[in-house]
């Protein structure tokens, strides 16, 4: 008990020092107001209140007095980009499915099938842990439940088969976050909503980076299994068939998603509703693991509480994004100018700073909150950097992979990684004893992050055919290839995408299709002659003077 108490004190002291340093740095930068907002967040103020309050304070301290109106918060929350997004329906449905699967006996069936199929490989049971943890994290959306469910099942088996305690504990602790970088994971959906990324293309883009991470961890598991002389399990066809037969109904969950979205028969929210209905049927009527009166009320209450909190925070984050992209604020440009003055001018330098920032945010916050806080801050900077240096632009898919990999690492990095405390609780170990055992896995994930950060091809190659398709389509229709630009590079304002390459900038000045004058004069953008409203006057909110006295 005293050991646990000292661990808690150590964690609190470490967190306190880190938080004080962050707040002090912001004050030193000359922003006492934002230092106050950050301090409130670190003191435990609900995140939706922090982000909503920050948005309100931002608009009320806008450089132009005409913009000092709280009503500016509403448009970006209620417009089609956010309120009509299908992901707002998808989040509660996927969360409900995850809670159901966690309460049922899905972990047992999943582990049995993975062990039967992969157990004969060198380090087979450890590879089973990697794969089963990744799949279960996708289904449930969280690393904590994966450590408790899959880790709790496999840790005794790993020790019994001959794996060292150090490796076994590090593996199950790390395994909880592996599935974040796979299609249909909930953090990926949330990133897509906040960053205005096409989620169906993101599901495709994440395949290679996710498989790359799983492969690296599996190779390391095979190496350890061989080094420690762990005996392999004899392959048994009968057990493989029996375990897959037992899991067959749950195996159709990803099949339904792929078929529905891949064929175009369903949108993502319709596919999520179909999967939720299907999961209710198999868990309550086929497997009969769950009972209506006993289990359903708790599942609905827990899943909807989490989903509601996520959506509330998302709405407040969206209001804050609206302020950051306001052309009169120029916050991204000012910060980028500061970084250039400090010598951070190129993408490789910026990536180092961004990754360190994301790791700190990921350690201090839960995963969803880390995405909601950091994406609005990072997105404009990346877009502005791409506008200044087109040859160093970054695609939204590569940025998404960097975000999710940073989350995976942050969950496992001492001293504040979330997985460390969950594993400490689940396996009754002092949290400091887990610091050392997770480091080899954290280093592997860091290596994967370096590759993803500096090899854009890995994140973009599967989406390049879509970019080429949209460009060709726009060429046939005589339109600017806006859909292609949204996929090709990070955009500061998704409602007004800009060209990503020097060639497109020459061909589409200002992101518009050029128009040649009848006399054969120089080309001008199509919106050249549109009237420009007076500065500080919003026709939707103010009584502006109409042209010609109207």
DSSP designation for 287: S
Cross-strand bridge partners of residue 525: 514
Higher pLDDT, 86 or 543: 86
Is the model's pLDDT at 264 over the cut of 80? Answer: no
Cross-strand bridge partners of residue 524: 515
Range with the poorest average pLDDT among 16-25, 212-221, 502-511: 16-25
Is the model's pLDDT at 533 over the cut of 60? Answer: no
What does the radius of gyration of the chain's CA atoms come to, in whole angstroms?
25
| CA distance linking residue 478 with residue 495, whole number of Å | 20
Higher pLDDT, 545 or 69: 69
Domain ranges of the chain: 87-307, 464-512
Among candidate residues 187, 6, 198, the one with its CA nearest the CA of residue 85 = 198
What is the model's pTM?
0.70
DSSP designation for 380: H
pLDDT of the residue at 401: 92
Counting residues of the chain whose pLDDT is more than 90, the rounded percentage is: 13
Residue-by-residue DSSP string for 297-317: HHHHHHHHHHHHHHHHHHHHH
Is the model's pLDDT at 460 over the cut of 90? Answer: yes
pLDDT of the residue at 368: 67
Determine which helix (DSSP H) or strand (DSSP E) holds 514, and give its type and residue range.
Answer: strand 514-515
Burial track 147-178 (b if 16+ CB lie within 10 A, e otherwise): bbbbbebbbeebeebebeeebbbbbbbbbbbb
| CA distance linking residue 139 with residue 130, whole number of Å | 14
Higher pLDDT, 522 or 337: 337
For 525, list phi and psi in degrees, rounded to 5.
-60, 155
Range with the largest mean pLDDT of 13-22, 237-246, 384-393: 237-246
Mean pLDDT of 452-461: 92
Is the model's pLDDT at 429 over the cut of 60? Answer: yes
Mean pLDDT of 427-433: 82
pLDDT of the residue at 280: 92
Counting residues of the chain whose pLDDT is more than 70, the rounded percentage is: 72
469-507 residue pLDDT tens: 999 998 888 888 989 999 998 887 788 888 888 888 888
Q: pLDDT category, 41, cuts 50, 70, 90? A: low
Is the model's pLDDT at 525 over the cut of 60? Answer: no
Q: pLDDT category, 364, cuts 50, 70, 90? A: low
Give burial (CB, 10 Å; 0-12/13-18/19+) of 69: middle
Mean pLDDT of 393-399: 90
| CA distance linking residue 201 with residue 484, whole number of Å | 12
pLDDT of the residue at 469: 92
pLDDT of the residue at 332: 54
Q: pLDDT category, 328, cuts 50, 70, 90? A: low
75-124 residue pLDDT tens: 666 665 566 677 778 778 888 887 888 788 888 888 888 888 888 888 88
125-158 residue pLDDT tens: 888 888 888 887 776 666 666 777 777 778 888 8
Is the model's pLDDT at 277 over the cut of 90? Answer: yes
> Between vectors from CA 214 to CA 212 and to CA 220, what angle results, nearest 5°?
105
pLDDT of the residue at 338: 65
Q: pLDDT category, 21, cuts 50, 70, 90? A: very low
Contact between residue 460 and residue 398 where contact means Cβ atoms under 8 Å apart: yes
Is the model's pLDDT at 521 over the cut of 60? Answer: no
Q: pLDDT category, 457, cuts 50, 70, 90? A: very high
- Look over the chain and give the mean of its residue pLDDT values, rounded to a whole number: 76
| CA distance linking residue 156 with residue 168, whole number of Å | 9
| CA distance linking residue 38 with residue 450, whole number of Å | 29
pLDDT of the residue at 233: 79
| CA distance linking residue 424 with residue 416, whole number of Å | 12
Distance of CA 543 to the CA centre of its chain: 41
Strands 524-525 and 514-515: antiparallel
Is the model's pLDDT at 19 over the cut of 50? Answer: no
Task: Using alpha carbons, list the distances in angstroms from residue 323 to 58, 83, 153, 331, 371.
Answer: 7, 18, 47, 9, 18
Is the model's pLDDT at 6 over the cut of 70? Answer: no
Contact between residue 99 and residue 303 where contact means Cβ atoms under 8 Å apart: yes
pLDDT of the residue at 443: 92
Mean pLDDT of 462-471: 92
């Amino acid at each position: 008990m005293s050991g646990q108490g000292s661990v808690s004190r150590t964690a609190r002291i470490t967190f306190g020092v880190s938080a004080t340093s962050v707040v002090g740095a912001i004050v030193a930068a000359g922003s006492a107001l934002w230092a106050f907002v950050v301090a409130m967040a670190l003191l435990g103020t609900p995140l939706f209140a922090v982000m909503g309050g920050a948005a309100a304070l931002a608009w009320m301290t806008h450089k132009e007095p005409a913009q000092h109106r709280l009503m500016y918060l509403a448009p970006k929350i209620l417009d089609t980009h956010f309120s009509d997004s299908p992901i707002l329906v998808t989040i509660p449905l996927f969360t409900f499915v995850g809670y159901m699967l966690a309460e049922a006996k899905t972990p047992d069936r999943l582990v049995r099938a993975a062990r039967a199929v992969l157990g004969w490989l060198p380090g087979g049971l450890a590879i089973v842990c990697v794969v089963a943890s990744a799949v279960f994290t996708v289904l449930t959306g969280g690393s904590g439940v994966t450590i408790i469910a899959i880790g709790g099942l496999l840790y005794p088996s790993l020790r019994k088969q001959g794996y060292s305690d150090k490796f076994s504990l590090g593996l199950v602790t790390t395994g909880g976050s592996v599935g974040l970088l796979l299609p249909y994971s909930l953090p990926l959906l949330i990133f897509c909503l906040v960053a205005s990324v096409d989620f169906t293309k993101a599901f495709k883009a994440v395949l290679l980076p996710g498989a790359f991470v799983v492969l690296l961890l599996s190779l390391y598991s095979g190496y350890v299994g061989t080094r420690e002389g762990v005996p392999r399990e004899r392959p048994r066809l009968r057990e493989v068939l029996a375990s897959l037969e037992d899991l067959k109904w749950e195996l159709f969950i990803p099949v339904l998603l792929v078929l529905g979205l891949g064929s175009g028969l369903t949108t993502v929210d319709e596919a999520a509703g179909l999967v939720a209905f299907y999961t209710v049927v198999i868990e309550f009527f086929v497997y009969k693991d769950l009972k209506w009166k006993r289990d359903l009320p708790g599942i609905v209450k827990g899943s909807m509480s989490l989903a509601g909190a996520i959506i509330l925070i998302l709405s407040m984050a969206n209001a804050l994004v609206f302020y950051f992209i306001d052309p009169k604020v120029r916050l991204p440009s000012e910060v980028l100018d500061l970084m250039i003055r400090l010598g951070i001018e190129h993408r490789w330098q910026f990536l180092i700073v961004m990754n360190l920032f994301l790791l700190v945010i990921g350690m201090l916050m839960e995963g969803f909150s880390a995405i909601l806080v950091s994406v609005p801050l990072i997105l404009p900077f990346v877009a502005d950097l791409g506008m200044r240096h087109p040859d160093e632009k970054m695609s939204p898919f590569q940025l998404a992979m960097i975000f999710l990999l940073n989350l995976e690492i942050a969950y496992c990095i001492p001293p504040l990684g979330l997985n460390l405390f969950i594993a400490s609780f689940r396996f009754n170990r002092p949290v400091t004893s887990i610091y050392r055992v997770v480091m080899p896995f954290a280093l592997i994930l860091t290596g994967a992050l370096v590759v993803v950060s500096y090899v854009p091809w890995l994140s973009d190659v599967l989406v390049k055919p879509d970019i080429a398709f949209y460009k060709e389509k726009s060429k046939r229709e005589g339109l600017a290839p806006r859909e292609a630009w949204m996929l090709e590079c990070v955009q500061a304002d998704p409602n007004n995408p800009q060209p990503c390459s020097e060639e497109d900038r020459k061909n589409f000045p200002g992101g518009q299709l050029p128009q040649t004058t009848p006399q054969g004069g120089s080309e001008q953008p199509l919106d050249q002659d549109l009237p420009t409203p007076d500065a500080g006057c919003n026709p939707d909110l103010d009584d502006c003077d109409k042209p010609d006295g109207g």
